[in-house]
């Protein structure tokens, strides 16, 4: 879903409307895997080479089953999707990212016809998926879904999302390689406060008065949708999403 800008004189109204539309319609799903989306650096585009690469990180921990929303007007329907950790997820540090991308979770849509909503997961007889974490800056990380097709010789990437802590644990916390959907996270709502995103100049309409507050609340709401509908892993010193 996209929003078209209005004229300069009604930009406030248009931005308010667009923010509401995004919050209600777009916030609970990412752009699906597609040709043209950038793969993490070094990932091959053919399936045989991808299989050889990802095999370095074996499936580890428990295989979890999540009841996931479908990409349909039938918002009440749910499908079974599995998620399991790859490799040692607790070695992943979002603030000290690896120089090379690392897969941390493997996902399979067990339904025969419906597409999972948030990641856009095709049925398991068409594709399987991995979540890959990679370096964004020297101190920040990001992750995205990568689709390994079973019907074509293709490896595709989904939308990039910031990756950071959800809860930070005291030293000696869990050292378990595990991945699950955020909706099933027993620890509940994330408590870690991520650094605020860079703001526009003081002259900008987005940083003034009540409207600036509205934009901040909408941004916070969308971020919470992401942590609710996405996935999480145990990582260094906590759990990350």
For residue 140, pLDDT beyond 60: yes
Q: Could you read off the pLDDT of 75-104 as tens digits, one per residue?
A: 899 999 999 999 999 999 999 999 999 999
CA angle 24, 26, 29 (to 5 degrees): 120
For residue 6, pLDDT beyond 60: no
In a domain, 8, yes or no: no
C-alpha distances out from residue 145 to 91, 95, 108, 207, Å: 19, 20, 12, 33
Q: Could you read off the pLDDT of 157-174 as tens digits, one per residue?
A: 999 999 999 999 877 777
Q: Quick check: 231 and 161 in contact, CB under 8 A?
A: no
Distance of alpha carbon 68 from alpha carbon 84, whole angstroms: 15
In a domain, 94, yes or no: yes
Lowest model confidence (mean pLDDT) among 45-59, 121-135, 202-216: 202-216
Provide the pLDDT confidence category of residue 56 given band limits of 50, 70 and 90.
Answer: very high
In a domain, 84, yes or no: yes
Lowest model confidence (mean pLDDT) among 159-173, 187-201, 203-217: 203-217
Provide the pLDDT confidence category of residue 4 given band limits of 50, 70 and 90.
Answer: very low
What pLDDT sits at residue 196?
A: 67
In a domain, 135, yes or no: yes
In a domain, 13, yes or no: no
Q: Quick check: 222 and 162 in contact, CB under 8 A?
A: no
For residue 14, pLDDT beyond 50: no
Token output for 172: 């000696």
Distance of alpha carbon 173 from alpha carbon 218, whole angstroms: 33
What pLDDT sits at residue 8?
A: 36
Domain ranges, residue 218 = 32-240
Stretch (H or E) spanning 136: strand 127-137
In a domain, 9, yes or no: no
Using only C-alpha atoms, what is the Rg of the chain? 19
In a domain, 66, yes or no: yes
In a domain, 23, yes or no: no
Q: What is the 3-state secondary structure (H, E, C) of 166-214?
A: EEECCCCCCCCCCEEEHHHCCCCCCCCCCCCCCCCCCCCHHHCHHHHHH
CA angle 59, 65, 70 (to 5 degrees): 115
Q: What is the 3-state secondary structure (H, E, C) of 81-128?
A: EEEEEECCHHHCCCCCCCCCCEEEEEEEECCCCCCECCCCCCECCCEE
Rounded mean pLDDT of 63-67? 96
Provide the pLDDT confidence category of residue 209 given band limits of 50, 70 and 90.
Answer: low
Distance of alpha carbon 207 from alpha carbon 7, whole angstroms: 19
Q: Is residue 89 packed enough to be buried (19+ CB in 10 Å), middle (13-18) or exposed (0-12)?
A: buried
Split into its structural domains, the chain has a count of 1
């Amino acid at each position: 879903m996209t929003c078209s800008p209005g004229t300069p004189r009604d930009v406030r109204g248009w931005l308010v409307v667009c923010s509401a539309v995004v919050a209600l319609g777009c916030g609970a799903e990412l752009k699906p895997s597609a040709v043209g989306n950038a793969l993490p650096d070094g990932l091959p585009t053919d399936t045989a080479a991808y299989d050889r690469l990802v095999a370095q990180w074996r499936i580890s921990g428990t295989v979890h089953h999540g009841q996931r929303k479908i990409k349909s007007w039938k918002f009440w329907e749910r499908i079974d999707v599995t998620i399991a950790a790859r490799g040692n997820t607790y070695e992943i540090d979002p603030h000290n990212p690896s120089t090379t991308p690392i897969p941390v979770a493997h996902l399979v849509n067990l339904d025969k016809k419906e597409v999972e909503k948030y990641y856009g997961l095709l049925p398991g007889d068409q594709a399987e998926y991995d979540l890959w974490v990679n370096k964004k800056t020297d101190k920040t990380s990001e992750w995205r879904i990568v689709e390994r097709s079973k019907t074509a010789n293709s490896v595709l990437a989904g939308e990039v999302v910031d990756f950071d802590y959800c809860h930070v644990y005291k030293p000696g916390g869990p050292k378990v390689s595990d991945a699950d959907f955020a909706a099933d996270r027993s620890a509940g709502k994330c408590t870690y406060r991520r650094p605020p995103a860079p703001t526009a100049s003081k002259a900008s309409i987005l940083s003034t008065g009540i409207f600036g507050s509205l934009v901040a609340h909408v941004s916070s709401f969308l971020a919470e949708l992401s942590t609710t509908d996405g996935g999480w892993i145990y990582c260094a010193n906590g759990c990350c999403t």
